[in-house]
A and B are shown apart, each in its own frame.
Chain A
């Protein structure tokens, strides 16, 4: 309970500071509306049907992108992790592609797949592939040969070792990658909506509030919802991971 209380105290202090800065006129209220106003707008938005549609559009794009990234990255990671030759052969390509920021690919993607929701899904998938791929390669490469020998000496065929030893061993590492990718994917979805424009989405809502009316309170309210979403996703995945992979956290902590 203690850390929760401390977090809440920190949050409250931040809001009070924000409110004070805005109310005392240290910055123009059009630039930074007081916290109370923004929070009120946020609650208002949560009951607003068209805004909720934007949220659903973003979340849907995010979920599809994350799913695609998992489907692409896990088998690739398995291949690259277990075949060092292939890993060396593809290293140059991977190291070239990985640092390219997704937003830099927006023009290319819009040209190739068009301006619909496919473009944000494609870019978020691209960005989300890397953490999962890296963790999967590491996990499949690091597997203890004694564990494989143990399985083989139990009469398990090589194909079944994949399912019964390699996958369970790699699962917690892959899951860590998925958690990182989940956060990155959401950022990319909202950024692409904001930068490239979209039919709907949180980023599109923020873009509209900025460019048309210059409604800073709505911009910040939309940002808070996006942040909240990211927080909830991460928190949910973290809890899920702790429950599913208790053996991993405990046994690696003990090994150290």
Chain B
């Protein structure tokens, strides 16, 4: 297996001087090609900041990110992001198909017909055939999030980043979307890095779970998920491996804040802050 993503000593500080806030502190990890890695961390610990650094949307104040060996400076060509807030990240003036085609619009080597074909194909991967002509606001929340997943897949990214993609849908839809994501990932051998604050979700979805500490985010543990590739919402969640892994992640998350703080840069370490874990 080759390495898809290599994050070395990544830090990010917002602001400077008095108001500086260290959101991410010295993170190092790799994601192998074809892997679905989950990052789980308490809310506000810097997960979105981490993904924004990896996706090139912001430039980290320290450390380095490489994607299949190339250093990330701007938004890489073969990377896609799915945001939590699907209703705000779909363009309301474009139809579903135009939304999915959006990242392909600027690829000069694709003809109009090819773009359309790719969009329809991506929509069928997420079980949304035949809604291309509708507008996003005519769809339910779960369907909207599928559209943004289709849009990301249409780009055929080497790495797909997902920032709490299922946090804003109801439980039933969430189960459906989790299974959908895993089947798409298995079918296409995609490499996915998914961020969540939900312990169960990280274990259910991941081939690997990276546990983050409270703010500023540090990696507390890197656990392989010892579950069969085919997962099932009922039996997997009942299995002994799942239950013990979930317990382990929960203990790490709760204990993470008590670990000795590294030299705090800028802001005082606040260990009394109540943890807001799901």
Q: What is A's interface to B at a CB cutoff of 8 Å?
A: 144, 146-147, 149-156, 160, 164-165, 168-169, 171, 245, 247-248, 250-251, 254
Contact = CB atoms under 8 A, between A and B. Distances in A.
B88 A155 contact: no
B57 interface: yes
B106 A149 contact: no
Interface of B: 52, 55, 57, 75, 77, 79-81, 83, 85, 88-89, 91-93, 102-103, 105-106, 135, 137, 151, 155
Given A154-B102, A251-B92, A149 B137 contact: no
B202 to A, nearest CB: 22
Given A156-B106, A164-B105, A251-B137, A146 B89 contact: yes
A135 B194 CA distance: 39
Contacts of A146: 83, 85, 88-89
Nearest to A244: B93
Contacts of A169: 93
A144 B88 contact: yes
B91 A154 contact: no
A151 B91 CA distance: 9
B57 A149 contact: yes
Given A144-B88, A153-B80, A160-B106, A248 B93 contact: yes
A247 B93 contact: yes
Interface SS majority for chain A: helix
Contact of B137 (A150, A153, A154, A250): A250
A248 B136 CA distance: 12
A149 to B, nearest CB: 6
A149 B83 contact: yes
A131 B68 CA distance: 51
Closest 7 CB pairs of A and B: A154-B103, A153-B81, A251-B137, A251-B92, A150-B89, A146-B88, A168-B93
B75 A152 contact: yes
Given A146-B88, A146-B89, A154-B102, 16 more contacts: A144-B88, A147-B88, A149-B52, A152-B75, A153-B55, A153-B79, A154-B80, A155-B155, A156-B106, A164-B105, A168-B93, A245-B93, A247-B93, A247-B135, A247-B137, A251-B135
Contacts of A247: 92-93, 135, 137
20 contacts: A144-B88, A146-B83, A146-B88, A149-B57, A149-B83, A149-B89, A150-B91, A152-B57, A152-B75, A154-B103, A155-B103, A155-B106, A160-B106, A164-B105, A168-B93, A171-B93, A247-B135, A247-B137, A250-B137, A251-B92
B100 to A, nearest CB: 11
A248 B85 CA distance: 19
Contacts of A147: 88-89, 91
B108 to A, nearest CB: 12
B73 to A, nearest CB: 13
A127 to B, nearest CB: 30
A171 B93 CA distance: 10
B74 to A, nearest CB: 9
A169 B93 CA distance: 8
Contacts of B79: 153
Contacts of B57: 149, 152-153
Contacts of B105: 164
Nearest to B55: A153
A254 B106 contact: no
Contacts of B135: 247, 250-251
